[in-house]
Chain A
Amino acid sequence: MAGELPYEAPLIEMRKKIDELVQFGQEKGIDFTDEIARLEERYHRLEEEIYTGITAAQKMHLARHQQRPTALDLIQLIFTDFIELHGDRMFGDDLAVVGGLAKLNGKTVTVIGQQRGKDTKDNIARFFGSAHPEGFRKGLRLMKQANKFGRPIITFIDTKGAYPGNTAEERGQSEAIARNLMEMAKLSVPVIVVVIGEGGSGGALAMAVGNRVLMLEHAIYSAISPNGAASILWKDASKADQAAEAMKITAKDLLEMEVIEDIIPEPRGGAHRDYEASATFISEALVRHLDEMKGWSGDQLKQDRYEKFRKIGSVTFEPQAPIEAPQEPVEVDVASNLSGNAE
């Protein structure tokens, strides 16, 4: 197994033992068929146990796996005829965001992805998938283009967050994210969002205002990275695993909170084990959800998206007197009152 994670160690150990036994049997000409079959069975049981009980912290590591398929990997496998389009028409071409035209099941769509690098050099060019304002604006330009031509928008979310740098701030990082949130709410075409890896904070949300928000089984999505939360809450970034559990960042948690609509299964062990199978699962989900919105008018789509986000949040009411607003003290004519009493 390539790119194994720490919790997979027992599996690797057992696989090695089975292989050794097979080899030993072949060399010495001894028949170990029964023993091997028994070990294989135990291996499968262990596999089942490990992969069905993946914790939030383990998912965090899976979602950030270096070999996990990136947006471009998936775009190439899911769509045909992908034509990449570039630039925000204002400042530059942010490679942390990719996008363009493509066909899904023969129909043209606009697809936009947050793109991590595949290696160090690629990562430097793409700022590790953390967009500058020009990245968000590039995404918005492509969305408005899709809106003009009436084609659905599909976005892939995979970022640690918006790029935290001085240049990003100077060019209005806040404004770029905020503008996307407002403008995405106005789109009259179907918008489907798929969180494929890490959905980190405002940088993720800036391209995630969709009618449907879907998550891959092991993807995570949160307001702040577990590392960031741990360093703020407990002044210790190494407690990220602990924070990951407390923060409810998994697809299952978010489905329960009705923040997302659907979970897309991953191949056993994670998306990095089988790119084709992952793409097939995503493709099926995209087609299904697009079909459900078929024939909806622009207003219907806007209303649906509005309601989706409108209902998120958990509040209560305290049955007590409201805080009084500061007002001019009511002037009571003390003198006349006093004189009245005296009489």
Chain B
Amino acid sequence: MFKDIFQKKRKYATIPSERALPGEGQEVLERPKREIPEGLMNKCSKCGTIQYSKELEKNLKVCPACGYHMRLNAMERIAMVLDDQGFVEFDADMISVDPLGFPGYSNKLEQQRLKSGLKEAVITGEGTIDGLPVVVAVMSFDFFTGSMGSVVGEKITRAIEHATEKRLPLIIFSTSGGARMQESILSLMQMAKTSAALSRLDEQGGLYISVITDPTTGGVSASFASLGDINIAEPGAVFGFAGRIVIEQTIRQKLPDDFQTAEFNMQHGQLDMVVHRKELRATLGKLLDMHSEKGGV
């Protein structure tokens, strides 16, 4: 439904090439640079439309021109989806170590903390939506491209185990570039760990809703993000296992623009629905309500 309204329109910036340069005698005019105060305006990374940051915030960081759902960090997502009061965070002070002594990893972790203001790529906790209790795990692409290392795996596993133990529904908001290669095999094993935890929730009859946001790929798409009883994606979100470039090199063909988007996945039966950010909270509330009748789950 929304697919039609928010169809991605790729608009390319035109860069004058050699041939397009003005002919002899014509003066090359430099475009005057417009000074824009930091933070006042925001440029859509998809269509390039510039708008007031305040307006964008009001629109839940969805570009009013092209409908692109901009990336949110975990705190923004929690504020947007959960009820205002009563969020309790789990394992807030759990941080990564450098288990392999991988070159440059410790420094990179420090940089990521400073850059994003987050301690790791996921925040977990318990809160409510429309008054209904729910356990959530919310990933941030801001921190280390949302990559899953030991901390992400452990925090998510604990959240799943908490949901299983307390018989609460679980929602995971995924966004990730995949496994964190600086933790090599340990990060790969987090896929098995989180999925095994989900198997227990599943066998117990617990509800798990997976919300896929832009982008969700690699080890995260190939573990918990794909395992929801209900899989929801935001419009335009890239969701797939292998990267576009790798695939293009393998098949030696150009892939269509919409490859691996939410709409593409919808068409190929990988999703239950594509939900606009404005409708997300209400949709989740409804789903929780529909699963709440038999007492908790």
Q: Which residues of B contact A314 (CB under 8 A)?
A: 97, 99, 150, 183, 186
> Are B188's CB and A222's CB within 8 A?
yes
Q: Which residues of A contact B287 (CB under 8 A)?
A: none
Q: Which residues of B contact A162 (CB under 8 A)?
A: 222, 241-242
The answer for the CA separation of A223 and B184 in the assembled complex, in Å, is 5
Q: Which residues of B contact A206 (CB under 8 A)?
A: 222
Let me know if A343 is at the binding interface, CB within 8 A: no
A222, chain B: closest CB distance, angstroms: 5
Let me know if A175 is at the binding interface, CB within 8 A: yes
> Are B192's CB and A309's CB within 8 A?
yes
Q: Which residues of A contact B206 (CB under 8 A)?
A: none
With beta carbons under 8 angstroms apart, the residue of A172, A233, A317, A325 that contacts B95 is A317
> Are A309's CB and B78's CB within 8 A?
no
B136, chain A: closest CB distance, angstroms: 11
A186, chain B: closest CB distance, angstroms: 5
Closest chain B residue, CB of each to CB of A316: B97
With beta carbons under 8 angstroms apart, the residue of A165, A181, A205, A312 that contacts B251 is A165
Residues from 57 to 86 in B contacting A, C-beta threshold 8 Å:
75, 78-79, 84-85
A54, chain B: closest CB distance, angstroms: 19
With beta carbons under 8 angstroms apart, the residue of B125, B153, B246, B255 that contacts A313 is B153
The answer for the CA separation of A184 and B244 in the assembled complex, in Å, is 29
> Are B189's CB and A312's CB within 8 A?
yes
The answer for the CA separation of A233 and B224 in the assembled complex, in Å, is 26
The answer for the CA separation of A67 and B84 in the assembled complex, in Å, is 62
Of A94-102, A118-126, A243-251, A287-295, the one contacting chain B is: A243-251
Q: Which residues of B contact A331 (CB under 8 A)?
A: none
Let me know if B169 is at the binding interface, CB within 8 A: no
| Per-position binary interface string of chain A over residues 237-261, scored 1 when its CB falls under 8 Å from any chain B CB and 0 otherwise | 0000000001111000110010100
> Are B246's CB and A259's CB within 8 A?
no
The answer for the CA separation of A229 and B102 in the assembled complex, in Å, is 12
Closest chain A residue, CB of each to CB of B75: A326
Given contacts A202-B191, A314-B97, A315-B150, contact A254 B199 (CB under 8 A): no
Q: Which residues of A contact B31 (CB under 8 A)?
A: none
Residues from 227 to 281 in A contacting B, C-beta threshold 8 Å:
229, 232-233, 246-249, 253-254, 257, 259
The answer for the CA separation of A266 and B219 in the assembled complex, in Å, is 31
> Are B260's CB and A169's CB within 8 A?
yes
> Are B185's CB and A246's CB within 8 A?
no
With beta carbons under 8 angstroms apart, the residue of B95, B240, B269 that contacts A174 is B240
Q: Which residues of A contact B255 (CB under 8 A)?
A: 166
Closest chain A residue, CB of each to CB of B224: A178
> Are A170's CB and B219's CB within 8 A?
no
With beta carbons under 8 angstroms apart, the residue of A165, A182, A318 that contacts B247 is A165
Closest chain A residue, CB of each to CB of B90: A322
| Per-position binary interface string of chain B over residues 120-150, scored 1 when its CB falls under 8 Å from any chain A CB and 0 otherwise | 0001010100000000000000000000001
B157, chain A: closest CB distance, angstroms: 7
> Are B189's CB and A306's CB within 8 A?
no
Closest chain B residue, CB of each to CB of A328: B84
Let me know if A50 is at the binding interface, CB within 8 A: no
Given contacts A313-B186, A314-B186, contact A322 B92 (CB under 8 A): yes
A–B pairs, 6, beta carbons within 8 Å? A164-B243, A171-B268, A259-B189, A310-B193, A313-B151, A314-B150
